[in-house]
Amino acid sequence: MPVAFSPSSRPALVSALTTTPFDVLVIGGGIVGAGTARDAALRGLRVALVEREDFASGTSSRSSRLIHGGLRYLEHGQLHLVFEASRERRTLMHVAPHLVRPLQFVWPMFDHARIAPWKVRAGLTLYDALALFRNVSRHRVVNAGAVTAIEPALRQSGLRGGAVYFDATTDDARLTLANARAAHDAGATVVSRVEVNRLLLDTGAVRGACARDVLTGRTIDITARMVVNATGPWSDTIRRLADPDATPSVRGTKGVHIALPRARVGNTGALTLLSPIDGRVFFVLPAGQTTIVGTTDTDYDGSLDAVRATPADVAYLLRSANAYFPATALVAADVVAAWAGIRPLIGGDAHHPDALSREHAVTFTAPGLITVTGGKLTTYRVMAHDVANAAQRALGQPVRPADTAHLPLPGGAITSMDAERDDAEHRTGSRDLATHLVFRYGTEWRDVWSLAEHDRGLARPLASPLPDIAAELQWAVDHEMALSLGDLLIRRLHLAFETADHGRAVAQAIAAQFGWQNTEVERYAAEAHAIFGV
């Protein structure tokens, strides 16, 4: 019988780390590490993945939640990246249609904007071309009246017209989790809460890692013929375990987002806008009952373990949003949540962080150690493919790519999203709940809902009027390796991002549901404070 991806199987997985001679050890459970572990395992390699916290606990759960071609990268001439990202957007909508879904954007054009209307139109034409005209739909130019009809609350003063185009929205943390689960299902040994503190060396080559099981304090040696450093912003930390004199290779830039009550902002959908402060592109994005506004892009050289949105970051985003929704008069008290992540970009000499390339690099930073840096959420699958290719070559094996472009991620084998939602509505009696479950779990919504059918107490809403139900907590613990309140409220569900108290009102009851001690509630309060700063 396959080992379950649950806390009950974790001791066996930790034991396997110490007894299995692996071909590849992946350090880092973000989107790139999880994708790499899946790709390599599907090629038949013996793979381990360790993550010192939870899957997607860093940058991979603090993005704009977009899978996009990167329209704004056209300004900097990054045509290859846009082409690649546009292809990946199409691929991910195919292999995970529940997690990566089309999203219509409006780009309103105003008088005296930094980017002239003709440049926007030309850019969108090129954007369609780089997607080989295979996006959900081609862009269309609309007049001011049509823009106002789509977004009635948008400022009308100076509005000259606009354009409508498509990208895709995602759940970044759950996309990462889906890859971690898929790696596990493909035979990889995938374990969170295992921290690497030393690399194992043999005649100067990296041959594994010495790590600590964070939950038990046990020290474990993991042997592997190749080690992959997929730790994102922490890449240089791991590189220096092999070479203390290694020069920095990552330039970290901070991206901040805020969530606001959607009713306060007044947007009906997604918008691409230019900040009146510095002219950079930012987004206004629908996210359930909230609206996400972001992002910033500033150099960051502080502690990677204490990244937060500052009052200045929040003020910048509020001022930018207020310029386009003048009736709102948004203030800091309106902010439901504010969070920040660090983009691990390839170090460069571009004066402004916004101009840094989002391309990625795969390098041998020491014998036996592959480091992957740069990239973006949208292109994680390409990055994983390139890393697995490099690992197979280094192992002296023929390169046999895995078919990750066609194999569905867990829950992703969907023929018709509408049919899934109709079936879910019939079973649950609620269109809103049906949509929520299908978009979060794909075909696995049936398994989640069956828990509620067998125990009606698990059908209860966790924080009404949000659609989350108690059955999702049980599913996360039994099948998604949720080990803490933070895993549940921040990354498996999004209550921490969608409630003003970041889920604290329900934390005690959830801890009791799983027999967790009060210390777990205290740990959650500390984690929420570290992320949201309150």
User: Mean pLDDT throughout 125-144?
Assistant: 91
Give yes or no for residue 458 having a pLDDT over 90.
Answer: yes
> Sign of the C-alpha dihedral, residues 89, 92, 94, 97?
negative
Q: d(Cα 455, Cα 36) in Å, to the nearest integer?
A: 38
DSSP for 2-57 reads: PPPSSGGGHHHHHHHHHH--EEEEEE--SHHHHHHHHHHHHTT--EEEEESS-TT-
Closest CA to 100 of 135, 65, 133: 65
Q: d(Cα 59, Cα 313) in Å, to the nearest integer?
A: 17
User: Mean pLDDT throughout 98-121?
Assistant: 94
> Sign of the C-alpha dihedral, residues 478, 188, 199, 371?
negative
Tell me the pLDDT tens digit for each residue of 352-406.
Answer: 565 566 788 999 989 999 999 998 999 999 999 999 999 999 999 999 999 999 9
First-to-last alpha carbon distance for the chain, in angstroms, is: 44
Which pLDDT value is given to residue 352? 56
Which pLDDT value is given to residue 177? 98
Q: d(Cα 174, Cα 99) in Å, to the nearest integer?
A: 8
pLDDT band, residue 132 (cuts 50/70/90) = confident
Tell me the pLDDT tens digit for each residue of 243-277.
Answer: 998 888 899 999 999 999 999 999 999 999 999 99
> Sign of the C-alpha dihedral, residues 29, 31, 33, 38?
positive
Across 47-51, 142-146, 293-297, 395-399, least confident range? 293-297
Q: d(Cα 177, Cα 5) in Å, to the nearest integer?
A: 11
Q: d(Cα 486, Cα 512) in Å, to the nearest integer?
A: 15
Q: Are 480 and 179 in contact (CB under 8 A)?
A: no
Q: Are 210 and 221 in contact (CB under 8 A)?
A: yes
Q: Are 268 and 76 in contact (CB under 8 A)?
A: no
Q: How many C-beta atoms surround the C-beta of residue 162 within 10 A?
A: 26
Distance set, CA 39 to CA 43, 84, 208, 411 (Å) = 7, 18, 19, 18
Q: How many C-beta atoms surround the C-beta of residue 73 within 10 A?
A: 23
Q: How far is CA 504 from the centre of its chain?
A: 23
Q: How many residues are recorded in the chain? A: 534
Task: Name every residue whose Cβ is closer than 8 Å to that of residue 419 and which is 6 or more positions away in sequence.
Answer: none
Give yes or no for residue 78 having a pLDDT over 90.
Answer: no
Looking at the chain, the whole-number percentage of residues with pLDDT higher than 90 is: 85
Which pLDDT value is given to residue 353? 62
Tell me the pLDDT tens digit for each residue of 489-532.
Answer: 999 999 999 999 999 999 999 999 999 998 999 999 999 999 99
Give residue for tokens 């194992």. Answer: 200
User: Mean pLDDT throughout 44-57?
Assistant: 98
Q: List domains and CATH numbers for the chain.
A: 7-59+173-249+357-394 (3.50.50.60), 94-169+251-347 (3.30.9.10), 417-532 (1.10.8.870)
Q: Which long-range contacts (CB under 8 A, 24 or more apart) does 484-489 make?
A: 484/54, 484/516, 484/520, 484/523, 484/524, 484/527, 485/510, 485/511, 485/516, 485/520, 485/521, 485/523, 485/524, 485/527, 486/54, 486/57, 486/523, 486/524, 486/527, 486/528, 487/54, 489/524, 489/528
Q: d(Cα 320, Cα 164) in Å, to the nearest integer?
A: 21
